[in-house]
Amino acid sequence: MNNTPSLSLQSLLLIIILLTLGCAQQHSVQVHDDSLSFYYNDTKAKEVFLASSADHFTYHPAIKESGDVWQVTIPLNKELSYFYIIDGKVTIPDCPNTVLDDFGTKNCFYVSAL
């Protein structure tokens, strides 16, 4: 009989995300069937929020998953601009895509794969 504990798919995905974030990536986005999960890595953060154009930049509180990884999930959108609020300060991490808002400030930009 094998007494080796098995990992759930969710645990395995979280481990992969944590390993990816451990490789100096500050944040990432994971696409689900009907939602988007945003992961932010910060060793010093006490409070993290996500704001996006999907809902007029309403602040969504992130949950500290493990270690230094914060996670927030919002409904799926084909495209949206977003930023984080870390301990009260607007934060724009390195993003593969960016867009300027109405005030000329750079925001991250998510667009779904076609």
Please give the structure tokens belonging to residue 52.
């996006």
Provide the b/e sequence for 54-70 (b: ≥16 CB within 10 Å): beebeebebeeeeeebb
pLDDT digits (tens, 9 = 90+) for 78-110: 999 999 999 999 999 999 899 998 889 999 999
Domain assignment of residue 10, yes or no: no
The C-alpha atoms of residue 105 and residue 98 are separated, in whole angstroms, by: 10
Query: Which residues have C-beta within 8 Å of that of residue 89, sequence separation ≥ 6?
Result: none
| Tally of domains within the chain | 1
Q: The CATH number of the domain where 78 resides is what? A: 2.60.40.10
Per-residue pLDDT, 113 = 75
The C-alpha atoms of residue 65 and residue 52 are separated, in whole angstroms, by: 21
Query: pTM, whole model, 2 decimals?
Result: 0.76
Domain assignment of residue 59, yes or no: yes
Domain assignment of residue 9, yes or no: no
- Per the structure, the complete domain to which residue 57 belongs is given by 27-111
pLDDT digits (tens, 9 = 90+) for 13-31: 555 555 544 444 689 999 9
